[in-house]
Amino acid sequence: MSYTSLFRKKSVVQIKRDAELGFSDAHGGVGADGEPHLRKTLGVLDLTSLGIAAIVGAGIFAMIGNAAFNGGPAVIFLFMFTAMACGFSALCYAEFASKIPVAGSAYTYAYASFGELIAWIIGWDLLMEYAIGNIAVAISWSDYFTGLLSGYGINVPAYLTMDYLSASRGYAAINGLVTQGNTLEAVRAMPDVTNAMKEAYAAWTTAPRVGGIPVICDLPALGIVFVITALVYVGIRESKRVGNVMVALKLAVIFLVIVLGSFYVNPKNWSPFAPNGASGVLKGVAAVFFAFIGFDALSTTAEECKNPTRDLPRAMIYSLVICTVLYIVLALVLTGMVSYKQLQVGDPLAFVFGPEGANLPWMSGIIAVSAVIAIATVLLVFQLGQPRIWMAMSRDGLLPPIFSSIHPRFKTPWFSTIITGLVVAIPSLFMNLTEVTDLSSIGTLFAFVLVCGGVLLGAHTRGLERVENERTFVPYINSQYIVPAIFIIAWAALLYFNADGVRAFFSFTDPSDPTLGAWEVFRHKIPLYAYIVLAFLMAYFCFRRRLSLIPVLGLMSCAYLMTELGITNWTRFGLWLIVGLVLYFLYGFGHSKLSHPAATTSATQ
């Protein structure tokens, strides 16, 4: 195995040819019915709807509350910054989608620009992003669904509605207060004891035991994954129709929340606007970024679009702009209706219309129903996306051929869809929402960084063939002076306005916790140290090589958001990538279509 063979690339022409042929099984690239292709049925309206379906979901119906609790009304600046970072990335995705209208998303784009090893890494990363993201969505859906049922007097046992870790933590927290001499009733009345902690305590104490271990799982999360997987298995047309209807319903409810809620806004709730400063705002980065994940999933449906070169880029940008405006306005309405201190709840939209806010019980019921619908649409889009990434990897030989097998009747990647359902459904029974949200965010940001890097590299390599008079979504803007100037101004501002913070950052002690050793303090700063080095190198290369500004800004903004996710998530992410590399060298490298050009040639004849 040579070093260069790890970075062998596929030309755009070859990627398109392989997609047309399918390489779906042992029939020389053609399915058993002679038709390997997916069904082309999506237009720009359908794609925009799918984009909104993916973006407007758990992030806005559930996680905006925690982000507002940490950042106050100033959380809108985090929405703006995150939207800007996603906007740069969306333009880079649009650039690739217009030139490589093939399923596979960032994986396929990386194959054309970086080569096979990086393509495998990003493909493996996307599997984590989509699977982990859908686990989080399924858990959030379960919370809203069980809440909706309880409103109608149907109470699902607490031990069947949450994960083991959350129940354990909630029990430990309340039990610790009880052991201090408080009665259980007194503990339940304490303001710091949330409803989630009470439910967790109930789950732990009422769960049946097997060998002394409580049986606790999230059964509704399992059920919704099975239902959505069945819908995706049946076909793209059916998924599209159901998705369009559900998107229309949830947009109508969000507009109702904004319009009706605006009459209950108290401007005093917006003061202080940033109660916890910049650190409080940035603390919600994982939740807010998770609210924007979705537009990239559209690129996995390229082979089911009527006109992917035109419609995919438009739909990505349309859906991102629409959702950003909705998010900012909605955040202002929520933080205006009640104090940000009250928004650390799992259902913030319903909460602000409850007794603590507008006190409109009927509105809370409508929101609960719409949230169940909205979050289900997110699950639908990502369950569509992941099997198509597996399909693309399989067509390249990096996964077994059965992953790219197309169902003769439904024209869907049937085996990949089933595996996706199992990979999401089983962990959703037991995993914790916060843990999976952070992992999904870091995986998505990594994909964005590589896509922006691919566009940047495309100007200096022949990985992306350019056609004369071809439309570009990333116009060239010379970054020679702009990026170095931003770098210098940023450091000057930090030194002027927060010199103590800069000194503390380069210190290996933590004043808030003197017991921490130097290594413990240092390791948590490693991601940001690495980012500083990256920022310096990018400023240098921008000055020397006049790089294109938009992909540079996309790469740098997404890389910065990654630093805010903490060393623990970086460690888990690194371990996931290591597992993926092991699988690549055990199977993918030897079975790659580029390792067997004769097989590819015979299939094309």
Delimit the domains of the chain by residue range. 4-29+43-153+221-458, 164-216, 482-604
Long-range contacts of the stretch 18-22 (C-beta < 8 A, 24+): 18/395, 18/396, 18/593, 18/600, 19/102, 19/103, 19/303, 19/392, 19/395, 21/603, 21/604, 22/395, 22/404, 22/406
CB-based contact 266:273 (threshold 8 Å): no
198 exposure class (CB count in 10 Å sphere: 0-12, 13-18, 19+): middle
pLDDT at 22: 57
Bridge partners (DSSP) of residue 213 are 210
- Amino acid identity of 502? V
CA distances to 15, 126, 290 from 440, in Å: 28, 9, 8
CA distance 540 to 529: 17
pTM of the model: 0.78
For the chain, the residue count is: 605
Distance between CA atoms of residues 177 and 86, nearest Å: 43
Cα 388 from chain centroid (whole Å): 17
pLDDT for res 21: 66
Identify residue 158 by its one-letter amino acid code.
A
Give pLDDT, residue 283.
Answer: 75
Q: What is the CATH class of 4-29+43-153+221-458?
A: mainly alpha
Q: Which of 107, 5, 130, 117 is nearest to 444 (CA)?
A: 130
Q: In this structure, what token pair is assigned to residue 273?
A: 């606007």
pLDDT of residue 485: 94
Distance CA 489, CA 501 (A): 17
The stretches in the chain having pLDDT less than 70 are 1-4, 20-37, 58-59, 61-63, 286-287, 290, 346, 432-438, 458-472, 510-516, 595-605
Cα–Cα distance between 203 and 214 in angstroms, integer?
9
pLDDT at residue 462 in the model: 38
